[in-house]
């Protein structure tokens, strides 16, 4: 004679057989798993699975996909070079070591006057001039070329010296302690994807666990062993809006062709001359929202893929030219830096 199943385990219910104790303590959890699936739209007979089994498969696949993409993006952001001042060719040495930018005196004086004169209107001719130059940014109000005394090199536009790394970083955004690396031109996309997939992970956990969390809270006083689950869920719940805000902030910066340094120290600086220098230099890189996103993330189809080779745009892109300037590969850094452009 067949032995009767325990009363707390519904007949022919595999889930109850595995989680019988939990379902006995929390009968409403059982009801939720059977009737209140948050993925009931998947369908009860998808690929021969029940609604609950389809939900489990969907959750497992989506979570591990987000986790894989997060780990890949994090590794690339942490170990890929953010971009250094190139010193591979004779032209590189002439530009960044010797400062031989071959800018005629008249043009140089015009740039100095534009940078140092706060009320000077930027006409279309002046805008085209700025966009065509290999180096636009100038130091302080007198318009001298920016020079790094630590690296003893002239700085390309948007380059800053990192005191922690001890090197200059192309289009430096910030030094990230979580990555132990600078975030710059070469790894900014990987950093952004790391934040994005971290947001996907936390948001999926909050959504998937919400029904279970509600039922656990209703019976928590009877089973304190589940208190760690409550604490973990609370932490993830608070982390999600922070990641959402951080992601939104960097999308705003990317769409407006700005870095964190430029946003904090230049655009919003109290020094009007600093704001003026940023206004002039920003003309060279601001190509419109969509083009700015493509310059940092690549073609639209590749935005969510952790891959970036810099070929979607060049570091010294000029809107006044039909094509980018001649480019040269920075060995081992997976990016391109624009060569000299005509003035």
Mean of the per-residue pLDDT values for the chain?
Answer: 77
Mean pLDDT of 73-87: 92
Rg (CA), the chain: 28
Of 262, 276, 312, the C-alpha closest to 292 is: 312
Given a contact cutoff of 8 angstroms between Cβ atoms, the answer to whether 260 and 253 are in contact is: yes
Instruction: Give the residue, 251 or 118, on which the prediction is more confident.
Output: 251
**Span of 19-28, 79-88, 144-153, 233-242 with lowest mean pLDDT:** 19-28
The model's pLDDT over 229-282, given as tens digits with 9 standing for 90+, comes to: 888 888 999 999 999 999 999 999 999 999 999 998 887 788 888 888 888 888
Both structure tokens of 293: 């996103």
Give the pLDDT score at 311.
55
Given a contact cutoff of 8 angstroms between Cβ atoms, the answer to whether 54 and 39 are in contact is: yes
Question: What's the pLDDT band for 104 if we cut at 50, 70, 90?
Answer: confident
C-alpha of 212 from chain center: 32
Give the pLDDT score at 26.
43
Mean pLDDT of 55-73: 90
Give the pLDDT score at 117.
82
Give the pLDDT score at 270.
80
Given a contact cutoff of 8 angstroms between Cβ atoms, the answer to whether 132 and 341 are in contact is: yes
DSSP state of 303: T
Q: Residue 204: is its pLDDT beyond 60? A: yes
The model's pLDDT over 277-319, given as tens digits with 9 standing for 90+, comes to: 888 888 888 888 999 998 889 889 999 999 987 654 445 433 3
Please spell the DSSP secondary structure of 69-134, one letter per residue: HHHHHHHHHHHS-------SSHHHIIIIIT------HHHHHHHHHHHH-TT----HHHHHHHHH-S
Alpha helix (H) residue ranges in the chain: 14-18, 20-25, 27-35, 51-79, 90-92, 105-116, 124-132, 188-218, 227-255, 260-261, 272-285, 289-297
**Span of 80-84, 127-131, 139-143, 270-274 with lowest mean pLDDT:** 139-143
Task: Please give the torsion angle defined by the CA atoms of residues 54, 55, 61 and 63, in that order, rounded to the nearest 10 degrees.
Answer: 180
State the number of CA atoms in the 13 A half-sphere of 40 facing the CB: 7
Question: What's the pLDDT band for 78 if we cut at 50, 70, 90?
Answer: very high
What whole-number distance in Å separates Cα of residue 145 and Cα of residue 147? 6
Instruction: Give the residue, 279 or 141, on which the prediction is more confident.
Output: 279
Whether 168 is catalytic = no
Q: Residue 52: is its pLDDT beyond 70? A: no
Give the pLDDT score at 167.
93
Both structure tokens of 234: 């609370």
Beta bridge partners of 161: 168
Of 251, 256, 252, 264, the C-alpha closest to 192 is: 251
C-alpha of 33 from chain center: 36
What whole-number distance in Å separates Cα of residue 189 and Cα of residue 340? 25
Of the candidates 148, 165, 176, 324, the residue annotated as catalytic is 176
Find tokens 């910066």 and name the residue. Answer: 253
Question: What's the pLDDT band for 328 if we cut at 50, 70, 90?
Answer: very low
Mean pLDDT of 196-201: 96
Mean pLDDT of 114-121: 83
Mean pLDDT of 189-213: 92
Instruction: Give the residue, 262 or 56, on which the prediction is more confident.
Output: 262
Give the pLDDT score at 303.
94
Percent of the chain past pLDDT 70, that is, above it, reads: 73
Percent of the chain past pLDDT 90, that is, above it, reads: 33
Both structure tokens of 80: 């890929």
Give the pLDDT score at 237.
93
Instruction: Give the residue, 27 or 337, on which the prediction is more confident.
Output: 27
What whole-number distance in Å separates Cα of residue 326 and Cα of residue 118? 34
Give the pLDDT score at 4.
53
pTM metric for this prediction = 0.75
Provide the greatest CA pair distance for the chain.
104
What whole-number distance in Å separates Cα of residue 87 and Cα of residue 97? 8
Both structure tokens of 107: 């043009």
Find tokens 């031109």 and name the residue. Answer: 185
């Amino acid at each position: 004679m067949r032995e009767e199943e325990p009363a707390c385990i519904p007949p022919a219910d595999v889930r109850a057989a595995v989680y019988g104790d939990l379902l006995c303590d929390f009968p409403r959890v059982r009801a939720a798993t059977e009737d209140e699936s948050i993925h009931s739209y998947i369908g009860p007979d998808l690929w021969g699975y029940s609604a609950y089994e389809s939900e489990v498969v969907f959750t497992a696949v989506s979570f591990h996909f987000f986790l894989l993409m997060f780990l890949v993006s994090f590794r690339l952001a942490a170990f890929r070079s953010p971009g250094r001042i190139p010193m591979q060719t004779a032209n590189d040495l002439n530009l960044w070591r010797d400062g031989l930018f071959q800018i005629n005196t008249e043009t140089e004086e015009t740039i100095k006057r534009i940078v140092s004169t706060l009320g000077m209107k930027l006409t279309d001719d002046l805008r085209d001039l700025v966009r065509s130059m290999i180096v636009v940014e100038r130091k302080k109000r007198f318009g001298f070329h920016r020079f790094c005394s630590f690296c003893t090199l002239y700085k390309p536009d948007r380059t800053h010296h990192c005191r922690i790394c001890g090197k200059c970083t192309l289009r430096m955004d910030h030094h990230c302690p979580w990555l132990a690396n600078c975030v710059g031109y070469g790894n900014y996309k990987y950093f952004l994807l790391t934040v994005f997939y971290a947001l996907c992970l936390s948001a999926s956990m909050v959504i998937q666990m919400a029904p279970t969390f509600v039922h656990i809270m209703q019976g928590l006083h009877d089973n304190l062993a589940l208190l760690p689950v409550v604490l973990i869920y609370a932490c993830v719940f608070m982390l999600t809006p922070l990641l959402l805000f951080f992601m939104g902030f960097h999308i705003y910066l990317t769409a407006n062709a700005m870095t964190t340094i430029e946003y904090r120290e230049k655009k919003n600086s109290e020094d009007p001359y600093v704001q003026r220098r940023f206004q002039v230099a920003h003309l060279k890189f601001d190509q419109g929202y969509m083009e700015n996103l493509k310059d940092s993330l690549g073609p639209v189809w590749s935005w969510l893929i952790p891959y970036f080779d810099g070929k979607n745009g060049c570091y010294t892109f000029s809107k006044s030219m039909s094509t980018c300037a001649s480019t040269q590969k920075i060995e081992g850094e997976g990016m391109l830096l624009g060569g000299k452009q005509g003035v």
